Amino acid sequence: MNERKINIFYLIATLDIGGAERQLVELVKRIDKKKFNPVVCCLTRGGPLEKELKDAKIKYFILGKKFKFDFSVIFNLIPILKQENIQILHTWMFTSNAFGRVAGIIAKIPIIIAEEQCVDIWKNKFHLFIDKTLSYFTDKIICVSEGVKNFYYQRAYIPLDKMITIYNGIKIYDNVNIDTGKKKEEFGIIANDKVITTVGRLAPQKGIEYLLYAVPILLESLPKTKFLIVGEGAERNKLENLARKLNISKNVIFTGLRNDIKEILAVTDVFVLPSLFEGFPNVIMEAMLAGKPVVATEIPGIDELAVNGKTGFLVPPKDVNSLASAIIALLKNPKEGKKMGIKGRQRIEKYFSINETVRETEELYKVLIKSKVYKN
C-alpha cells in the first residue's frame, strides 16, 4: 500500500462538551499522524473543545449553519472537501451524517463513513428513511454499541454487514488524590454527608426528573444525603421547580457546567444515570474509572457497559422505586459498593480504553483504504 498520508475529514455539528464531541476530539488527537492527516469541520459552531484542537495543531473549519434546513452548508462543504483532497469523510450523528454524506457523494469522496452514537428513539419515519437511503452510499456505519447497531437494523433496516461496532473509550488515568473535605465544602456539603451524583445535559432524555422523584424516598431512610446534578440544559428551570415542589431543594444542588468532573467523582458515593435512551455513555465510563458504583437504567448501550450486580445496579427506566432502592442498597452497604466500584474500574481498564477505540478505527480506515483508494 502506498504510504502517502490519507486525508480524513471529520464532520460534526459543534465542539460543545458532549460525549460524541469528546470522542471525536480524543480520536483526532491520538490518530497516527504518520499515516493520517485529520481535518475537523463543525456544521454549526465551534465550542469549548476547539482549544484542544488548536493545542494539538489540528486544522478545523466552522461552516456556521444558520437554521435547521440551511442547505447552503452542503455547497460550502463540497469545495472544502475537494480543496483538502479528502480520501475519507467521517461524519458524526444525524445532521452531520445527512448534510455531510450528501456533500461527500457530490464531491465523489472515495470513502464515506457515518458514526451513530445513540439509540435515537426520537427519530421518525422521515429521519429513518434518510438514514436508510444514505446508507447505500456509505462504506461503513460505526455504531458505538451493539444496542445502537440493533436499533438501526430493526428500525432503519440497515443491513448488519453495513455496520460495525466500535465501542467508545476513555483515557485511563490513576485515581485522583484530592482534598475531599474541601471539595464537599465548596458545595456546602458536610463532611459525613453521602453524595449522589449525576452528570449530563439537562434534557428529557437523561431522565433526571425520575431521580428527583426518588429523592424523598431515599431521604426517609438516609436524610444526610446530598445530590449533585452536574450539567446545563433547557430542562434546568423545570427541574429546579420540581425540586422545590418536592421540598428537596436543600438536598439537591444544581451545579451547572463543571470542568472538575474527576474531582466531583472523587467525593461521590454513588453515580446515577437514569436515562431513557443512550448509546454508550461517556459519563458512566468516567464514573466506573473513578471506582464508583453505578446505578443506571437497563437500556441498550448501558447494559453493555455496566454489569448488573457487579459494577452497580441496573433498573428499569422511569421506575422511581427501583431507582431509590438501588441507591439505598449501595449507601447502606458501602463495603459492597466499594467492591463494585473496583470491579467497574477493572472493566474499563480491560475493555474500554480510548487507545483501543483509536486502534479499531484506524484498522477500519486501513481496510477500506486498501479495498477502495488503492484497489488498482
pLDDT value of residue 106: 97
Q: What is the DSSP string of 171-221?
A: ---PPP---HHHHHHHTT--TT-EEEEEES-SSGGG-HHHHHHHHHHHHHH
Q: At what angle do helices 208-221 and 236-245 cross, to 10 degrees?
A: 30
Per residue in 214-234, pLDDT tens?
Answer: 999 999 999 999 999 999 999
pTM of the complete model = 0.92
pLDDT value of residue 158: 98
Q: What is the dihedral of CA 334, 318, 289, 224, to 10 degrees?
A: -40
Can you tell me the mean pLDDT for 34-47? 96
The whole-angstrom separation of Cα 324 and Cα 218 is: 6
Count Cβ atoms within 10 A of the Cβ of residue 330 and give its class: 0-12 exposed, 13-18 middle, 19 or more buried: buried
Confidence bin at 1 (pLDDT 50/70/90): very low
pLDDT value of residue 18: 87
Per residue in 308-364, pLDDT tens?
Answer: 999 999 999 999 999 999 999 999 999 999 999 999 999 999 999 999 999 999 999
Cell matching residue 369: 483504504
Phi and psi torsions of 128, nearest 5°: -70, -30
Does the structure show a pLDDT above 50 at 161? yes
Q: Compute the mean pLDDT over every residue in the chain, rounded to the nearest whole number.
A: 95
**Domains located in the chain, CATH noted:** 6-169+353-373 (3.40.50.2000), 180-351 (3.40.50.2000)
Can you tell me the mean pLDDT for 198-203? 96
Confidence bin at 3 (pLDDT 50/70/90): low
Does the structure show a pLDDT above 60 at 375? no
Q: Are 109 and 137 in contact (CB under 8 A)?
A: no
